Amino acid sequence: MLNSLQYSLQYFIELALYLIPLFIAATFLVGLIREYLDEDKIRRTLSGRSTFVSHLLASIFGAITPFCSCSTIPLLVGMLNSGVPFGISMSFLLTSPLANYVAIIMLATLLSWEVAALYIVFTIIMGMIGGVLLELLGLEKHVRSVSIAEDNLCSEGENPDGFKARAGNALDYALGFFRDLAPYLALGMVIGSLIHGFVPEEFIISIAGPQNLLAVPIAAVIGAPIYLSMEAMIPIAFSLYNLGMALGAVIALLMGGAGISIPNMVIIARIFKRKLLLGYALTIVVSASIIGYAFNILNAFI
């Protein structure tokens, strides 16, 4: 017992010293990118008919815009109200909670750049295909008529001229974002450390190792109720991976949790009726499962 506690404490300190500077640096980079991002111009570019390029741009836009539903949903409503086609808007929504830069940089550092690169590619492709399918299923009529002002849910500052001013804004953004998420990140590190210290490796391998074919879809579903934030989930997933959890199950856990977490679904329910909400959730779970299996197959080559 004492040895397990000591091991957990040591692992927590190592995670904290490693993840906190990484989190702030990654968030600063994202904040700097956001300073130069012209969201209105991107919306205008996406308006018009649905094409392969439009879906690709929407998915990429989802990957480089904010991390949370409080800012994603106002952007989505703005896209729909400004004439962006439903399917393209869905491609943005499906990708947005999954492929944020902080998660990508943390994945790349904790696992490998190959894993992070594949994660980006797979989530963008998933967003494109999911957007097309939801449009083909005729679910556009299940969008509620709402108008959400962005500053009702999130606050955005003015973008000043000059790199120094923008960098200062980005640093303020990074530190503020860290303060907001610090409790979740700390909780994720605590849980990950306790898992690493107390859960036997053989137990993880037996229920979620590569030999269990059901581990991937199960992980995609159970990610939702245990989800804290992508940044908090990564240290937990990293601990599980180090104990023998299949890489595909780890990825499915992250994707399912980010896409259909309870807070995320509550906010999305403000603008989606039941059928579209169900369609969105099923798209996330199926996509997370497919991508998880793909990672299990490719893991031998990564």
User: Tell me: the pLDDT tens digits for 187-220?
Assistant: 877 887 887 777 776 777 777 777 888 899 998 8
To the nearest whole number, what is the mean pLDDT of the chain?
Answer: 80
The mean per-residue pLDDT over the stretch 173-177 comes to 80
- How far apart CA 123 and CA 65 sit, in angstroms, is 14
The mean per-residue pLDDT over the stretch 150-170 comes to 64
| pLDDT tier at 154, thresholds 50, 70, 90 | very low
Q: Looking at the predicted structure, is the pLDDT value of residue 149 above 60?
A: no
Between 152 and 300, the higher pLDDT residue:
300
Between 162 and 85, the higher pLDDT residue:
85
What integer pLDDT is reported at residue 236 of this predicted model? 82
pLDDT above 70 as % of the chain: 83
Phi, psi (degrees; rounded to nearest 5) at 272: -110, 135
